[in-house]
Structure 1
Amino acid sequence: MPAAGAPAPDGLAILLLDGGYERAHYALVLAASGLALGRPVVLFAAGGGVHALARDWRGLRDAGQDAEMAARGVATFADLRDAVVELDGELLACEAGLRLCGLRHGALLASVRVAGVPTFLDAARGRQVITL
């Protein structure tokens, strides 16, 4: 790990803006894959994307697609999210996004930190940024 404030070499910063299942699922695919390759990953969920970090993620638009993914042998939302947590991905939920979606801090996974855009921008410094 780099020193505090130093860029994360080969790090990945994922900005999830959309509250749809497909984009949230793919954000987790990218995060889990990056972590499996040894890349440090921060995932910042904003807007409707905060539902992806809630214990009950069915607030995502088209969440029912998860059953089809599982039936086709694709990793499920829960499997991917569990992998990101187990591989120590940094999960951030936007405070404004929570307000927008009517979610309280307690609705989030225990490992999620509520933060604002400045915190994400600081964490993203020196990392490859992907927006979904």
Structure 2
Amino acid sequence: MSRPMFLTLADDSWQRAHYAMIVAAGALSLGRHVTLFAGGRSVLALTTDCSGLQGTIADNVLEAKGIAGFGELREAVLGFGATVMACETGLIMAGLTTKDLLAGVEVRGIVSFLELAGDNPLLAL
């Protein structure tokens, strides 16, 4: 069995968030468990309206090029059973509440994420 994957995001870059979702979906499709932690303003990637991310490319533009859109990737990551966490402090920083988050996103602190990761490597995107 493969080791679980632990991904963390820290800024409001759409490109980093999109790539994190690609990595997470790929790992999940191979049977790996994935935990994704969004800290700081990267919590915007886990909201129903992620337009606050910097450098956003519309899903229809990507899909016209044969690239999975951000919404499709997020649905896949959550649907395949990843543990997805939004940082408590990040929500405050971004002016958000738990009501702004997608269904299935847990609100946790960095200590909870690190405790889950244990001695496993972290991939920061």
Task: Compute the TM-score of the two structures, normalised by the length of structure 2.
Answer: 0.93
Alignment partner of 1:96 is 2:89:
yes
SS state of the match for residue 73, structure 1? coil
1:52 equivalenced with 2:39 (yes/no): no
Letter paired with 2:22: V
Within 5 A, what are the aligned runs for 1:1-132?
10-132=3-125
Are the aligned partners of 1:70 and 1:76 in contact in 2 as well (CA < 8 Å)? yes
Segments of 4+ moved more than 6 angstroms: none
Relative to the length of structure 1, the TM-score reads 0.89
Determine if contact 1:11/1:126 at 8 Å carries over to the other structure: no
In 2, the alpha carbon distance for the partners of 1:66 and 1:51 equals: 16
Deviation at 1:9, TM superposition (A): 5.0
Tell me how far apart the structure 2 counterparts of residues 123 and 9 of structure 1 sit (CA, whole Å).
Answer: 16
Structure 2: tracts of 5 or more residues without a match: none
Q: Aligned residues: percent identity? A: 40
For residue 126 of structure 1, report the CA deviation from its aligned partner: 3.7
- Paired AA for residue 27 in structure 2: G
Residue aligned with 2:35, SS: strand
Contact 2:7–2:122 (Cα < 8 Å) also in 1: yes
C-alpha contact (below 8 Å) 1:9/1:126 kept by paired residues? no
